[in-house]
Chains A and B, each alone.
Chain A
Amino acid sequence: MAMAETPHLLLVDDERSIREPLAQYLTKQGFRVTQSGDAESARARLNAYSIDLVILDIMMPGEDGLSLCRHIRATSEVPVILLTAKAEETDRIVGLEIGADDYVTKPFSPRELAARIKVVLRRADSGGARQNGPDASAFSFAGWVLKTAERALVDREGVTVALSSGEYNLLHVLVTRPRQVLTRDQLLDLTQGREAAAFDRAIDNQVSRLRKKIEPDPKNPQIIKTVWGGGYTLAAEVTRL
């Protein structure tokens, strides 16, 4: 699927008060949006249309979003973004475990959602068959484990090392693209999809803060390496957990 075409989104939410204005907004942002008020009609539309991405509310009467997400993952490669509430953290973890690509927390900024949709679509597009893969509930690299639902880093001894939102977003971008050289612009662009926190501060600053937390010797970094003239790269083997 080429990005030049208008991406076709399927928006599944039982709340009309959210679904309709959101569909309107996303249409204005240049997407084609098909709406669906429950899991059953969503299945029908998934079969009827060539959908590029599904936006899925977790809490729905009848068959819930998680069950539908599982069904989508079992039958197709269509990326899924979950709409969750903060209180439903366990649902979020389950959602990522069963293969959702991302999530936003209600109430969310439609701009942020649009940005993430673009990131996920680009990711699906660039790698073709989900090469970068959906988000995972945890990534393991160089002795560390990055937990996505808790947005926390756990060391070898099992001690949680908290990250600021900016640090987390940057590290998340890096571990989902190991051994790829990412320029500062690319990093800014990729982290923008996340919460508003990261943009104000220079990427360099975030990188040096991250190095202080995860490198055994921050002055001689071995995990996040600087590529002269290029940018940064995560020089470690990453395992999805």
Chain B
Amino acid sequence: MSRSLLPKSLPGQLMLLVAILLFVAQAINFALLLNGRRQLRTAQFTIPAVNRVLDSVEALRLGQPIDDRRGIRQSNIGPLPAIPPHHHDAEALEKMLRKALNDNGYQPGIIATRIAPSRAGPRPPTAQKRPRLRRSINELRIAVELPERGWLNIRAPWPGNDNFIFWQLIFQTAIIYMVMLIPMFWIGRRIARPLGHLADAARYFDPSRPAAPVAERGPGDVRAVIAAFNQLSERVTAMLDEKDRMLGAIGHDLRTPLAALRVRIESVEDDGDRERMAAIIEEMNRTLEDILSLARLGRPSEAASDVDLAALVDAVVEDFRDLGADVSAEEAPRTRIRLRPSLMRRAIRNLIENAVKYGGGAEVRLIDDGARVNIEIADRGPGIPSDRMADVFDPFTRLESSRNRDTGGIGLGLALARAIVREAGGDIVLANRDGDGLIATIRLPRG
């Protein structure tokens, strides 16, 4: 039997195990019962048969008549039929007879035994007395050759074959199976079903949507596990709530001095200085927003909605162009997709921003191949050495060794963009262009 045929569920395995154990127990019972019946047969049928042979031989020796009605007669012809068919008790029976005759001083010749269907006629009285053995419709025929006295033929009752016992046993086993396996199945289900609910609850655990606790059902152990899981999920949710509160407080506490600074720099006389300061504050604020977004991404507050991705890409590109950046886009047809628009907008913006920052400009294309939607953002910058491709996604990694403020950012942009795209079920792939530059591709699954 292949492994895959074995049941995997708890009720299935329980039932299979119990069925096998019951079968083994029943087989042992069956063997014991057969053995017991053999001993019974010896006591009830074989020994009387041997005694009757002895009695008859004794009667013959003394010249007394033999009572034909008891199925014994003397004849000069051999056993009927002459060659007895084999039956499994024959040898033991013949041995027993010979020994008994020898012990009483007789030297018999051939001893043959045969089991045959009972002839209609007077039933042996021993059989009639025992209703349980009514089915003993067979008879044992014994032929003993007495030297110089011819043959002694004896008919004795013999129990019928054991088939009925076999059927009785199957019937009994079936009843036991029913009595045992139905409750077993019920118990198994009682354990397995709450465990199944628990597994579902754990699998689909979503801290952003507080779910009702799993109902505590089933036996005590299972209830304990479910209660522990409910407490765990409550703790996780509470911790995430706490994290959100903390992030909110951090955001507020960092934004307040930034806002104060932003107001204060209006008093700076030099326009150039003031604008540079404003740009730095703006950048610090953007970095802060990126950090907070990245930290919150496990539990985004924005809901997914149906979005025209072509318009989204176009809007981001247009924002860059309004600020004077060299960003071009191919016009794309309406591309309906379900995602979190503000977050995706930020991911696209971060990638275009990188292209503008490191590549001097960006060419953006939206390609819908039916199964997937790709957003390609290509630049004409130096590209990325192939051995550093994976590194650039690490937060706080930048390729130039100098942390030059002019180029801005701390390398969080790409990490955040990838986290956003992955949360939406897609991925970002980087590749160097033939010639010069880098292509960053946002791959999003459809539907």
Q: Which A positions have Cβ atoms within 8 angstroms of B?
A: 15, 17-18, 21-22, 24-25, 59, 85-87, 89-90, 106-111, 150, 152, 155, 157-167, 197-198, 200-201, 209, 213
Instruction: Give every chain B residue within 8 A of A25 (Cβ-Cβ).
Output: 263, 266-267
Residue contact B341 to A162, C-beta cutoff 8 Å: yes
Residue contact A108 to B259, C-beta cutoff 8 Å: yes
Q: How far is the CA of A167 from the CA of B315 in the complex (A)?
A: 8
Q: How far is the CA of A209 from the CA of B331 in the complex (A)?
A: 12
Measured CB to CB, the nearest residue on chain B to A111 is B266
Select which of B255, B308, B322 is within 8 A of A165 by beta carbon: B322
Binary contact readout B245-261 vs A (1 if CB under 8 angstroms, 0 otherwise): 00010011001111111
Residue contact A87 to B292, C-beta cutoff 8 Å: yes
Residue contact B261 to A85, C-beta cutoff 8 Å: no
| Given A85-B255, A108-B262, CB of A201 within 8 Å of CB of B307 | no
Given A17-B260, A59-B252, A166-B318, output 7 extra A-B contacts at Cβ < 8 Å.
Answer: A15-B256, A85-B255, A90-B301, A107-B282, A160-B307, A160-B312, A162-B311
Residue contact A197 to B258, C-beta cutoff 8 Å: no
| Given A18-B256, A157-B306, A158-B305, CB of A150 within 8 Å of CB of B341 | yes
Chain B, range 341-379, C-beta contacts under 8 Å to A: 341-342, 345
Residue contact B260 to A21, C-beta cutoff 8 Å: yes
Residue contact B278 to A161, C-beta cutoff 8 Å: no
**In this assembly, does B187 line the interface, its C-beta being within 8 Å of a C-beta of chain A?**
no
Q: How far is the CA of A25 from the CA of B263 in the complex (A)?
A: 8
| 9 sample A-B contacts, Cβ–Cβ < 8 Å, listed by A number | A18-B259, A86-B289, A87-B292, A107-B262, A110-B262, A150-B342, A162-B341, A164-B316, A167-B315
Give the number of residue pairs across the A-B interface with Cβ within 8 Å: 105
What's the least CB distance linking B302 to chain A, in Å? 8
Instruction: Give every chain B residue within 8 A of A157 (Cβ-Cβ).
Output: 306
Select which of B258, B267, B312, B323 is within 8 A of A107 by beta carbon: B258
Select which of A85, A106, A108, A164 is within 8 A of B318 by beta carbon: A164
| Given A159-B308, A167-B315, CB of A152 within 8 Å of CB of B324 | no
**In this assembly, does B206 line the interface, its C-beta being within 8 Å of a C-beta of chain A?**
no
- In order of increasing CB-CB distance, the 9 nearest A-B pairs are A164-B318, A17-B260, A107-B259, A162-B315, A107-B262, A162-B312, A106-B259, A197-B322, A161-B311
Residue contact B260 to A18, C-beta cutoff 8 Å: yes
Instruction: Give every chain B residue within 8 A of A166 (Cβ-Cβ).
Output: 318-319, 322
**In this assembly, does B336 line the interface, its C-beta being within 8 Å of a C-beta of chain A?**
yes
Residue contact A21 to B308, C-beta cutoff 8 Å: no
Q: How far is the CA of A72 from the CA of B342 in the complex (A)?
A: 31
Residue contact B322 to A106, C-beta cutoff 8 Å: no
Binary contact readout B71-96 vs A (1 if CB under 8 angstroms, 0 otherwise): 00000000000000000000000000
| Given A17-B257, A18-B260, A160-B341, CB of A109 within 8 Å of CB of B311 | no
What's the least CB distance linking B254 to chain A, in Å? 10
Measured CB to CB, the nearest residue on chain B to A21 is B263
**In this assembly, does B281 line the interface, its C-beta being within 8 Å of a C-beta of chain A?**
yes
Instruction: Give every chain B residue within 8 A of A108 (Cβ-Cβ).
Output: 259, 262
Instruction: Give every chain B residue within 8 A of A155 (Cβ-Cβ).
Output: 308
Measured CB to CB, the nearest residue on chain B to A85 is B255
Residue contact B255 to A106, C-beta cutoff 8 Å: yes
Q: How far is the CA of A192 from the CA of B261 in the complex (A)?
A: 23
Q: How far is the CA of A111 from the CA of B306 in the complex (A)?
A: 36
> Quick one: which of A17, A106, A109, A213 has the most chain B CB within 10 A?
A106
Residue contact A163 to B315, C-beta cutoff 8 Å: yes
Residue contact B255 to A22, C-beta cutoff 8 Å: no
**In this assembly, does B287 line the interface, its C-beta being within 8 Å of a C-beta of chain A?**
no
Chain B, range 125-148, C-beta contacts under 8 Å to A: none
Select which of A22, A160, A164 is within 8 A of B308 by beta carbon: A160
What's the least CB distance linking B283 to chain A, in Å? 11
